[in-house]
Amino acid sequence: MMKKNLKRLALLVLLLSISPAANSQSYEASKHPAIQTASLKKARVDDRKDSNSGEYWFSRGYELHQSDRYPQAIEAFAHSIGLRYRQATAMYNIACGFAMLDDKDNALFWLERALASGFDRTDLLKNDSDLDPVRSDPRFRDILQKASFTKNEDKRSKGHDRLEEAVSNFEQLRRESSRNGDAWYKVGSQLIRLRDLDRAAIALTQAVDHLIYRASAMYNLACAYALKGDREPGLDWLEKSINAGFDNTAKLREDPDIASLRAEPRFKKIEELSRVLSLSQFSNEEFHDSNYSKRRWAPAVKLYESFVRETPNNGRGWFNLGYALHYSSEHARAIEAFERAIQLGHRSPTSMYNIACANAMMGRRDVAFEWLEKSVQAGFEIEGYVWGDSDLDSLRSDPRFKRFLDMTSDHHKIKEKNEK
């Protein structure tokens, strides 16, 4: 339904009076902070006052596009074109919106219209990530070849073709039989945006195999299969990502990459699973002074006790129960829940760290240090917690704690050395 409506919109705007001498102010200028601030301020002016202002609609379109509300942004830019304001740039922005919606036909149509109307930022054709979803399309290559590049632009863009670079990185990882999950995840995510979906699926499968925390890689793998039209594996990986800890219910509702999955009956069940397993539903400003509160966390304890009774092999459910029990100051029960999460392979390094915290708060120093050591050995990045986590306060006077503080210092030294 959405795609048909947008195609009608493309035809509708095509009929608007488009001047060949359209304003070709650069798209990049609209990203300048000062101009962006002015545009956003202007966009908030009452619609009744500015509905006939092309500047208003252009600014409104930019604001909507930046908020990932692409259909609404496209419509706003269409108004800008109709009012003869920055027409070529608005056409380019419409092309970007359609690309992000994975509507290649309209994206390429509007890209050609933008260039024909005087859009002169041809370097953006090489570098703008909004166009990544169409870069693997042969028609985009034809547009690149037809575009007029200056010598400086040719020199600047040489060797920086985004698709070629991503494919090259992919092939290098495959030749090396790399076990670097982060590297596989990065290139897989790039290949999804570039719509090289077969390679993306391979790369992200490797990322899942080698990463400790795999939820985002699983979600992106679901996106790759959804975009390929393989709905069953797409739904399988989407559900796996939720159970592994992917926690972004807004993306499930709005991400165009998984649009093909939303009509499936199973999707509703996955969406509900995501809602239930999201700890953010228990955020409450009333308890801003401290996370520790039996009253605050009682509903969470009740929910996840029921959840793990019904689905005893769900590691995320046990992890969430441990979290809620910990902040209810029921540390002994929290430890049992986190141990169960470890047995089920869910976020084991973090679960180990949480067990260390629980033991520290119970005054069990020796056991706490044992679990701290286990968490580090399992891959937990303790550097971000060892200085400021009050759960560990009972350990700070112990000489053994210095070793974990030294890990932070060593980490910073290595980081600074790598950045030089």
* Average pLDDT of the chain, as a whole number: 82
Among 148, 172, 202, the domain boundary falls at 148
Q: Work out the pLDDT band at 211, boundaries 50, 70, 90.
A: very high
186 shares its domain with 125: no
Residue 226: inside a domain: yes
What's the pLDDT tens digit per position in 356-406?
999 999 999 999 999 999 999 999 988 878 888 999 999 999 999 999 988
Highest mean pLDDT among 68-72, 106-110, 130-134, 310-314: 310-314
Using the structure block, give the residue that is written with the tokens 């350990």.
Answer: 395
| Residue 160: predicted pLDDT | 45
Beta carbons within 8 Å of 159's beta carbon, 6+ residues apart? none
What's the pLDDT tens digit per position in 141-167?
888 877 755 434 444 444 347 888 899
81 shares its domain with 189: no
138 shares its domain with 47: yes
| Residue 16: predicted pLDDT | 44
Look at residues 377, 411, 387, 35 and name the one whose alpha carbon lies nearest to residue 212.
Answer: 377
CATH number at residue 95: 1.25.40.10
124 shares its domain with 34: yes
| Residue 419: predicted pLDDT | 45
What's the pLDDT tens digit per position in 252-295?
998 989 999 999 999 999 999 999 999 988 876 544 446 888 99
Between 228 and 15, the higher pLDDT residue = 228
Residue 265: inside a domain: no
> Percent of the chain, pLDDT > 90?
54
Number of domains the chain is built from: 3
Residue 274: inside a domain: no
Beta carbons within 8 Å of 304's beta carbon, 6+ residues apart? 317, 318, 320, 321, 324
| Residue 32: predicted pLDDT | 29
Residue 305: inside a domain: yes
Residue 340: inside a domain: yes
212 shares its domain with 300: no
Residue 233: inside a domain: yes
SS3 breakdown of the chain: % helix, strand, coil, rounded to 5?
Answer: 75, 0, 25
88 shares its domain with 138: yes
Residue-range definition of the domain harbouring residue 287: 280-419
Look at residues 24, 16, 75, 28 and name the one whose alpha carbon lies nearest to residue 60.
Answer: 75
What's the pLDDT tens digit per position in 329-338?
999 999 999 9
227 shares its domain with 294: no
Residue 379 DSSP code: T
pLDDT exceeds cutoff 70 at 85? yes
Beta carbons within 8 Å of 36's beta carbon, 6+ residues apart? 30, 62
Beta carbons within 8 Å of 210's beta carbon, 6+ residues apart? 179, 180, 181, 184
| Contact in structure between 27 and 124 (CB atoms under 8 Å) | yes
What's the pLDDT tens digit per position in 175-202?
999 999 999 999 999 999 899 999 999 9
What's the pLDDT tens digit per position in 26-73?
333 333 222 233 333 334 444 444 667 888 888 888 889 988 889 999
223 shares its domain with 293: no
Averaged pLDDT for residues 227-232: 95
74 shares its domain with 32: yes
d(CA 85, CA 323): 54
291 shares its domain with 250: no
Averaged pLDDT for residues 228-237: 96
